[in-house]
Amino acid sequence: MGRIKLPEFKENEQITSDQFNEVNNAFQKFTVNGENLANEAINESMVEDESAFGSVQSAGVSFLEVNPASLRDTAHWTSSRRNWMFSGTSSRGAITVPTITKDDNVLVRASCRLKIPDVGAKTFFSGRTPVVKLMLAYRTNVDGTTGDDTGWVFLNETCQEFRMAFSTKIPSDSSLSQLTASQSGASIEGLVLESIYITLWEDRGLMGLSSASRQSDVDSTGFRKVHRDTTDPSETSESRYSLAFKDHNSLHGDFSYTTGYLFNTNTDITNVQFALWGSFYGFDPGGGNSSAGTTGKIRGCLKPVFEKFELRDFNIYGYKIQKSRT
Amino acid sequence: MPVDPTIFSNVSSGDAVEAEDIRERMLELQRFLNGGIVPRKAPVGDFENSAFIKTQHIEKPEFYGSPHPRVESISSDTVFRKRTNNRLDRYYRHEQTGSVLQPTFSGASTTPTAWQPIEGMSSTVFAREDCTALVIGSFYVHDSGGSDGFANVDSLDIASKRQEAAFTRCMLAGRIICETALFLDKGDGNGSVLQSRTKRRIYSRGEQSYNCRRMNHSFTIPVELKKGENKLSYRTYYRLKKRDDFHVKHIFFDARNFVVDCLYR
């Protein structure tokens, strides 16, 4: 019985034992239930700190260069230590959420801007652009002796893959354009390029204009010998064929990565650590040979190389959602 | 445990109730009410066996609709904005003429007034106390109307000109035409402060040649709010190199979402 109703004792009236016992019985049978509590009995002022949400753990890095190993094998892309996103232990951007019970959840979110550089993957016809993968990983009961690359469990639900459909080319003079040849009067190994031997350029493996002819302008004909396949038209020296100029290419991939994950464990743990991991696969230069030419020579560019990608404006945070506390 | 039945014992007709007896009963009642109510565990206890706390005992969340949709509850508040992927809901900028030119793009980054709020991605949040708020947003964006400047080049034109037109479009695809970022004004006198880790960059499509530049962007970040009014807005800065720049024209922001979760307890 949750509600007590006591008999009324009036002045100058005798209190009988039954009336007295009625008071006794009311208290003996008293129990607490919904009838005892006013609507305002449980309200905001009675909610303790961190009764629902634990403190927020967050980390962020403005700029990260990620240069993991390039693996074509998508099944084992996580196996290499070099896939670890952050090389420095102090700035790897991991967060550690402390004291997790089996009833707790941890909601973790992360976002960043992913820049995949345009390295000229389509310089050669069969070249392929790389696929970059990002995903969250966690490990539990982390202490000071835990290595940076051990014990991680990948959260496949947070994996995203990014790829650019297009790519520019590393500039070269090997346009195989007869117009180019006729306008410039260039020659290779003594052959006039507008001759029938022009079709043999590729067979001969000697593609491109001579350095001297490249720099002799023929504007009077309306033709520009500074080929418009370079992203830096002001550059006429041989250095524009260098792979170092790939940053001038225009088709960089610039993506947003945003993810969230609700972590739950069925056991009590000391802490749980989250971090973002990344790698790439699938890059194919499509041709070229790093020994077939040297940078800046008339043979054009070297073999395109995909070395790294960038993460900017990275941040990650997580907070506990506590079911109950005693 | 409930009141002691030996103290709260019944009396029989004709018994005299002494003052001490009354006092003991009052003391026992005092013990019970002053922290003596305990959950029921066999064999004794005062709480009912079944759950008894109902909605009426809990302060229920308050739901508010237009124009400031939000949910206010005890432990947290959620403020949200949504714009569908409908052209009538589109937010657009087109600053072919009359734009404010900044000396450099990086210079604009430090000038909050150069950034204009994106409709549907701003909110004024009233925080009941200092708290952490989680801000989440997404939007679908692309440019339109820009030109490569070779409008009259047809298939019969000389190859080098067509090549140059294509080259121009390719170069435009690498041009950043605007940048977006979250700004927070806590009402502390510091004005709107850029939250740098929410920056996103929008590239030109190169006269609509590269539809891969039509993209969805998203972000999520925790921010610290002050008690009282806090203004959150996701803004854009349109990058126009010069007044007669015909390479870029319109920026369209379509489907947009903006959520602010305030965590109190």
* Mean pLDDT value across residues A91-112: 88
Q: Give the CATH number, domain containing residue B66.
A: 2.60.120.40
A266 has pLDDT over 50: yes
A70 has pLDDT over 60: no
Burial of residue B115 (CB within 10 Å: 0-12, 13-18, 19+) is: buried
Domain that holds residue B107: 61-263
A173 has pLDDT over 90: no
Are residues B203 and B117 part of one domain? yes
- Answer whether A270 touches B (CB < 8 Å): no
- Which B residues, 20 through 49, put their C-beta within 8 Å of a C-beta on chain A? 25, 29, 32, 37, 40, 46-48
Q: What is the pLDDT of residue A240?
A: 56
Are residues B36 and B106 part of one domain? no
pLDDT bin (cut points 50, 70, 90) of residue B111 is low
Percent of chain A exceeding pLDDT 90 equals 16
Q: Which residue has the higher pLDDT, B177 or B263?
A: B263
Q: Domain locations in chain A?
A: 1-46, 53-170+246-321, 178-228
Question: Which of A92-106, A251-265, B50-64, B125-139 is the least confident region?
Answer: B50-64
Q: What is the pLDDT of residue A28?
A: 83
Q: Is residue B212 classed as helix, strand or coil in its secondary structure?
A: helix
Q: What is the pLDDT of residue A200?
A: 33
* Probe site for chain A from B201, B224, B247 (most A CB atoms < 10 A): B201
**The one-letter amino acid at B150:** F
Q: Is residue A317 classed as helix, strand or coil in its secondary structure?
A: strand
- Which A residues, 35 through 54, put their C-beta within 8 Å of a C-beta on chain B? 37, 39-44, 47-53
B70: its two tokens: 């939000």
Are residues B77 and B19 part of one domain? no
| B37, B215, B263 ranked by CB distance to A32: nearest | B37
CA distance B238 to B234: 13
Q: What is the pLDDT of residue A297?
A: 42
pTM assigned to the model: 0.80
As separate numbers, helices (DSSP H) first and strands (DSSP E) second, chain A gives 4, 11
B108: its two tokens: 């604009």
pLDDT bin (cut points 50, 70, 90) of residue A92 is low
Using an 8 Å Cβ cutoff, are B232 and B135 in contact? yes
pLDDT bin (cut points 50, 70, 90) of residue B221 is very high
pLDDT bin (cut points 50, 70, 90) of residue B56 is confident
Q: What is the pLDDT of residue B175?
A: 86
Dihedral sign computed on CA atoms, order A295, A296, A297, A300: positive
Q: What is the pLDDT of residue A290?
A: 60
Percent of chain B exceeding pLDDT 90 equals 40
Q: How many domains does chain B fold into?
A: 2
Q: What is the ipTM score, two decimals?
A: 0.83
Question: Could you say which DSSP state residue A7 is in?
Answer: P
A163-172, B7-16, B38-47, B110-119, range with greatest mean pLDDT: B7-16
Q: In the predicted model, what is the mean pLDDT of chain B?
A: 84
B200 has pLDDT over 90: yes
pLDDT bin (cut points 50, 70, 90) of residue B165 is confident
Q: What is the pLDDT of residue B80?
A: 96
Residues A267-305 have pLDDT tens digits of 999 999 998 888 888 888 877 656 544 444 444 566 788
Are residues B154 and B34 part of one domain? no
Name, in order, each residue with C-beta under 8 angstroms of A171's C-beta and a sequence gap of 6 or more. A227, A229, A230, A231, A232, A240, A241, A245, A300, A301
As separate numbers, helices (DSSP H) first and strands (DSSP E) second, chain B gives 3, 11
CA distance A251 to B180: 20
Are residues B111 and B2 part of one domain? no
Q: What is the dihedral of CA A167, A169, A170, A174, to 10 degrees?
A: 170
CA distance A16 to A27: 18
Contact residues on chain A for B264, CB-CB shorter than 8 A: 53
A89 has pLDDT over 70: no
Percent of chain B exceeding pLDDT 70 equals 84
DSSP A28-69: HT--B-TTTS-TTSS-GGGPPTTSSEEEEEEEEEEEEEE---
Contact residues on chain B for A27, CB-CB shorter than 8 A: 2-3, 8, 29, 32
B263 has pLDDT over 90: yes
A69 has pLDDT over 60: no
A15: its two tokens: 């209190």
Using an 8 Å Cβ cutoff, are A85 and A66 in contact? yes
Q: What is the pLDDT of residue B78?
A: 96
Are residues B166 and B48 part of one domain? no
Q: What is the pLDDT of residue A236?
A: 53
User: Which of B52, B69, B84 delimits the end of a domain?
Assistant: B52
CA distance A227 to B166: 13
Q: Which residue has the higher pLDDT, A202 or B222?
A: B222
Q: Work out the minimum CA distance from A179 to partner chain B, whole angstroms.
A: 9
Q: What is the pLDDT of residue B186?
A: 95
Q: What is the pLDDT of residue B66?
A: 83
- Which CATH code fits A53-170+246-321? 2.60.120
Are residues B80 and B196 part of one domain? yes
Residues A39-65 have pLDDT tens digits of 777 777 788 888 889 888 998 888 877
pLDDT bin (cut points 50, 70, 90) of residue B69 is very high
Relative orientation angle of helices A17-28 and B19-33, to the nearest 10 degrees: 20
